[in-house]
Amino acid sequence: MQRIVFLDRSTLIANLRRPDFEHEWVEHETTAPSEVIERLKEATIAITNKVPLRADSLSELPGLKFIAVAATGIDIVDLDYCRRRNLPVSNVRNYARNSVPEHVFMLILALRRNLLSYCEDLERGLWQQASGFCLLTHTIRDLDASTLGIIGYGTLGRAVEKLALAFGMRVLISEHKEARARREGRTSFEDVLRTSDIITLHCPLSDETRGLIGREEFRMMRRDAILINTARGGLVDEISLVEALRSGSIAGAGFDVLTKEPPREGNLLLNLNLPNFILTPHIAWASREAMQTLADQLIENLEAFASGKPRNLVT
């Protein structure tokens, strides 16, 4: 009989049916790194969303047969160790194909139309003092005929492209940074930075993508450009982002992620009180519909493993 332990059940607000095979189910609302070994010592299947599973812990868990990540990002698991040990790891995919793109465009529209600045003006009573029927204190830009650069062209990147085309935008798909050849239909990374009105990130966090956007990249971008990051915080150097926003090197940014989450020790972006910067608490993925799709797929991954036909494997 399989013993399934869900380390951080509180991260998934959805109905979670039990797998259709003989098992024992144990769930914890949250799990600290120091509690991982004790809680998984009798487990054959571990479920984690954001609780790290590193080699030092996994080496103490010889009975563990399968790791199911309740998310798409798998940087919380030591995949190299899992490969060496032939420990399969699965993730969930494509569940936020509507939720994330909609969040991206919420941020884009708010920034392009200076929503925060206008809300601030209303709170200050400026409309009441206006000489005309409307208050025009900040620039408003349309999306139609503007250029969107997409860095990371998987399911989410493609879904963002679909919405962009509906808005009448021109879309550029970025080639990998420092790529030696450019694939058909792709634009060089540097040209995407130089020519896009809006740049949105949809790539995973890895050794190759960590710090993808830093001081030099901000210098390449247009002064009226906007950067959107709903992927991973580590893709962007946060100090360089703050410098770019405060100096006017770029026009604005909308972020849903930070380098360390939750930011218990603080983060410079938390106190960045600028009308051209929007920060949301890693919720782009979290529509009710998306979370239920995630929950259903998570259980399907467990059942596939138990039947001897594992799916959505990353190792």
| Nearest-5° Cα angle at 145, 139 to 147 | 85
Fold type of domain 99-279? Rossmann fold (3.40.50)
CA distance 24 to 263: 34
Quick count: other Cβ atoms within 10 Å of Cβ 69? 25
Selecting among 261, 288, 289, 311, the annotated active-site residue is 261
The domain ranges of the chain are 2-94+289-306, 99-279
Q: Do domains 2-94+289-306 and 99-279 have the same CATH topology?
A: yes
Kindly give the residue spans of alpha helices, DSSP state H, lying in 167-287: 189-195, 215-220, 238-247
Known catalytic residue at 282: yes
pTM for the complete prediction? 0.91
| Nearest-5° Cα angle at 104, 190 to 51 | 95
Known catalytic residue at 261: yes
CATH code 3.40.50.10800 for 2-94+289-306: no
Q: Provide the CB-side half-sphere exposure for 213 (13 A, CA).
A: 34
Residue 36 one-letter amino acid: V
pLDDT digit of tens for each residue in the chain (315 aa)?
999 999 999 999 999 999 999 999 999 999 999 999 999 999 999 999 999 999 999 999 999 999 999 999 899 999 999 999 999 999 999 999 999 999 999 999 999 999 999 999 999 999 999 999 999 999 999 999 999 999 999 999 999 999 999 999 999 999 999 999 999 999 999 999 999 999 999 999 999 999 999 999 999 999 999 999 999 999 999 999 999 999 999 999 999 999 999 999 999 999 999 999 999 999 999 999 999 999 999 999 999 999 999 999 999
